[in-house]
Structure 1
Amino acid sequence: MITFPRPVFRGQGFPGPSFTASQALGAVLLTGYVLMLALNLPGHLSYDSLAQLHEGRMQVRETWGPALYAWILGTFDSVSPGTGLYVAASGFLVTGSLLSFRQLRRHVSWASVVLAALMVLTPTLLIYQGVVWKDVLFANLALAGFACLAQAARVWDGPRRPWWVLIGALLAFAAAAQVRQNGLVAPVFGAMALAWIAYGRGWRSSLAWGLGGLAATLAVSMAMGALSQPPQAGPDQASARGVRIVAHYDIIGSVAAKPTLPLDVIRAHDPAAEQQIRYRATALYTPERVDYLGQDDQIGLALWGLPNEVVFEQWGTVLTQHPDAYISHRWEVFRWVFATPKIDSCLPVYVGVAGPETLTTALGIAPLMEPSDQALYNYSTWFLDTPLFSHVFFALIALVCAGVLLWRREAADIIIAAMLLSALAFTASFALISIACDYRYLYYLDLAAMAGLLYLALDLPYGRLRRRPR
């Protein structure tokens, strides 16, 4: 009689393959990425998206948006018309970065799997990653840059330098600095983190890696900016125009905050322009956004009719001689972009395709709002009055996570903490440059806070924090 051995099941001594938390985390993140693509492709496009896609496809300069972003859209469009391929590539920067976090810790907790499952269902990852905005790409590039640096920190003391991930960080940071006008904040903090991890071989090594990395990033970034300019476009005037718009807004906002504030420089050059600013512009001014000033053509003619030197001299006079009015105006503008007191006024989410007929016709893209787009919008409204649409909430998460990581101070911890601090510094920079409260402007803060929280949840530190030797 032939007998067969009794099968041994897991739990009875048979080791067998098991589905680990690390594998589950990877499955959740990849599923979230696929779901994002399924729900959003070929991408949601606003006027800004269409304008920069048109620039990239036609190789022209028509807006003051980043030339590199237009070039990126045009490059993906040349491979596969439209923005579907771009959305897939941009979104994978986030998914790939989060997947790479698993290599940074000795253990992966099941708590991180639960957290990741919740994260991929938030509008931050599920919807925003499908919107064709430079703000989203900047956040993705910055996250990818710090993820590469974290991998470098993990093997820094090994026999070989991790050149491939260092090059990846350099390219990501260089592109990020071009895609957002204040995007330089990310590579600066990346350079400081690199200097920190190189400190083990002395302060000279630390200084060389930190300053050398920043210099290399700036050089590559400037080269990217120059090469992305269409040959017939001439010198890029985007930054200069953006600064001037900020100057206009600050002058008008300061007068609105302090009606007796003198505008002697502008009055000496053009008394009529001074009257337009003092009475017409201040009547339309709001800290919510600069766009309302465009409702009166006379204001635009008066402002843009002034020479640069007059505007910037008056701006400087306001800042130095009337800081109370300037700070009052700037505080209100920052409150709107950071705290979004009326979230519905700050364009919290965008779906579908909409823009001028001239652009949609030239691109061959029909304006539309499909039922699936409307469903996504309706889904997002369930979160509007929750902390998931609060930059203040994510700033608190970033602060707490950065504090814990800086206390623990393991190699990759410093990099992730630097990412979180860069997001906070990026947010703070809007106190000086913000001209509207659009929610997307601080998307990097929300994304970085989520990524930092997930990294911390991978290997919960609470027990080790209590036992840490003094």
Structure 2
Amino acid sequence: MPRRSLDLTADDVVRGLLIAGFLVMLAGAMPGHLSPDSISQLYEGRMGTRETWGPAAYASVLAIFDSIVPGTGLYLVASGFILFASLLGLRGLRPRASWAAVPVTLLMVASPAILVFQGIVWKDVLFANLAIGGFFLLARASVSWPARRPPWIVLAGALLALALAAQVRQNGIIVAPFAALAVAWTVRGEGWRRGLAWGLGSLVAIVAASHLIGVAAQPAKAGPDKASGVGVRILEHYDIIGAVAHDPTLQLSVFNTADPEAQTVIRARGAPLYSPVRIDYLDADPAVGAVLWRQSDQVVRDQWLDIVLHHPRAYLAHRLDVFRWVFLTPRIDSCLPLFVGVEGPADSLKKLEIAVGKDASDRAIYNYGTWFLDGPLFSHLSYALTALLTAGALLLRRDRADMVMVAMLAASLAFTGSFLAISIACDYRYLYFLDLAALTGLLYLALDPPVAQVRRLLRR
């Protein structure tokens, strides 16, 4: 009998590349790369304590998987599965698959954003995966909605993923309004009142579910969660010193009234230590922290507000400088672009029975990642431009799933913009959602490019 030729379709190749990418990522990372932040949150989850101001929900997620299989290996599989299952599911949103999706898929699975970052146990990675998964499920719901009654199970999964995402990352709630807009757009054909009701209902559902998750995640013996208050206080300290560093003539009138020594210490010892790269440099002089932390919350809040309202140029100069570092990463080596292996507090590592160090596989992955450090695959700006161009192309077609993908891309850009107000360091991982959303949107676009719409636009 004649031998039959193997007819591969674009679907087959894309699916094979994504599955291979998932397996290669796991093979190189298992049981997960653990930085000091990772160790601290795993420790909190296993011991049921609160010792940092990281999200309690992330510690709880780690604890759930750790209780089944000690460590982070099972968590890593689950987190990666959320992303790769969503990417595989994109094909079901379009009537056909183009060969243009093949090089995009290859780029994705070979990029450090997937191959390296997906193996790191960071809340930023889980947040991005959950957000991508949530918007994918909303897109899935939008495609099937016209054919039958609302797909409740898919909608519930989407809202739950986005609610958990909002708890895993401190500013993750930003994705909720964009998800609500996507739902409202999906239902708009049934009348504006119904669309508004669905949109507002989705927003309320995400916020309420997120709050319940946050309450449930708080360890009972840890008492009320004060992490958000501590985080805000640290941000206020940074902004006060940053404003003084950018305007040496700025008078700290509130501190002058409450504690005159505070202004003297901040001006003479705090401002010289200031750096837009990260807040940690202020720890070099314990006297700076001591004089700030002895002030009441109200005094610090009033001083911060006084600067924002009456010295906006100094405040904005500081904030723009910090945002420039987190978004453009002028010296990327200063912004922790890569992490492999295991590193953390010795006492916590001992109690968790986790060995510190890097093996040959870790070093090989790290070396691979360094090849891309000065290129577009390690540039938030390039991903932001990709997100904007992809959203623009999808707006030409405006299919139901297209608009959900646009909402996802808009959410990633808004999430990025929020760091203008809250960033305290330039760590590359903070904007990982932007990178991943841009790649996901690009893959979706490449699966079925709106060629006809582009041609019509060019003929005008």
Same fold (TM over 0.5): yes
User: In the alignment, residue 280 of structure 1 is paired with which amino acid?
Assistant: R
Query: 2:76 pairs with 87, 90, 93, which one?
Result: 87
Residue identity opposite 2:205 in structure 1: A
Q: Hey, what does 2:97 align to over in structure 1?
A: 108
Residue type of the partner of 2:188?
Y
The Cα shift of 1:360 comes to 0.7
CA–CA distance in structure 2, aligned partners of residues 79 and 93 of structure 1: 18
| Aligned residue number for residue 261 of structure 1 | 250
Which residue matches 1:177? 166
User: CA 1:8/1:292 → structure 2, altered by over 3 Å: closer, same or farther?
Assistant: closer
CA contact (8 A) 2:396 2:453 kept: no
Cα offsets for 1:416-443 (capped at 9, x unmatched): 0100010000000000000000000000
Q: Aligned residue for 1:272?
A: 261
- Identity, % of aligned pairs? 56
Matched, 1:329 2:352: no
- The equivalent residue for 1:145 is 134
Of 368, 374, 394, 2:383 maps to 394
AA of the residue aligned to 2:224: P
| 1:295-317 Cα distance to aligned partner (Å, 9 max, x none) | 11111111111000000000000
Equivalent residues, number? 459
Q: Deviations 1:261-317 (Å, cap 9, x if unpaired)?
A: 010101111111221111111010000100000111111111111000000000000
Give the aligned partner of residue 152 of structure 2. Answer: 163
Residue in 2 that maps onto 1:118: 107
Query: Which residue pairs with 1:78 in the alignment?
Result: 67
Task: Quote the residue 1:3 is aligned against.
Answer: none
After superposition, the C-alpha distances for 1:350-401 in whole angstroms (9 at most, x for unaligned) are 0010112111111100111111111111111100010000000000000000
Shift, 1:463, TM fit = 3.4
Q: 2: CA distance between counterparts of 1:219 and 1:115?
A: 37
In structure 2, how many angstroms separate the alpha carbons of the residues matched to 1:229 and 1:356? 22
Letter in 2 for 1:296: D
Amino acid at match of 2:248: P
Alpha-carbon distance, 1:26 to partner: 1.1
Instruction: Please say if 1:453 is aligned against 2:442.
Output: yes
Whose Rg is larger?
1
Unaligned runs of 5+ in 1: 1-5, 11-16
Kindly state the Cα deviation for residue 20 of structure 1 after the two structures are TM-superposed: 2.1
Name the residue aligned to 2:88.
99
CA offset at residue 18 of structure 1? 3.7
Match of 2:305 among 310, 316, 329: 316
TM-score when normalising by structure 2: 0.98
Distance in 2, Cα, partners of 1:64 & 1:407: 43
Aligned to 2:365: 376
TM-score, length basis structure 1 = 0.96
CA distance in 2, matches of 1:151, 1:263: 53
1:208 lines up with 2:234 in the alignment: no
Name the structure 1 match of 2:348. Answer: 359
Equivalent residue for 2:30, pick from 34, 38, 41? 41
The code of the aligned residue for 2:244 comes to V
Q: Please report the RMSD computed on the Cα atoms of aligned residues, expressed in angstroms.
A: 1.3
What secondary structure does 1:286 align onto? coil
**TM-superposed deviation, 1:21:** 1.4
Distance 1:407 1:265 in 2: 53
Corresponding residue for residue 233 of structure 2: 244
Report the CA distance between 1:9 and its aligned residue.
Answer: 5.1
**Which amino acid is the alignment partner of residue 353 of structure 1?**
V
- Could you tell me how far apart the structure 2 residues matched to 1:259 and 1:8 are? 81
User: Which residue identity lines up with residue 454 of structure 1 in the other structure?
Assistant: L
1:87-113 per-residue CA deviation (whole Å, 9 max, x = no partner) reads 110011110010110001111012202
CA contact (8 A) 2:396 2:450 kept: no
Shift of 1:462: 2.0
- Note the 1:129-140 alignment, pairs <5 A: 129-140=118-129
Is 2:416 the partner of 1:427? yes
Deviation at 1:159, TM superposition (A): 1.8
1:51 counterpart (33, 40, 53): 40
1:290 aligns with 279
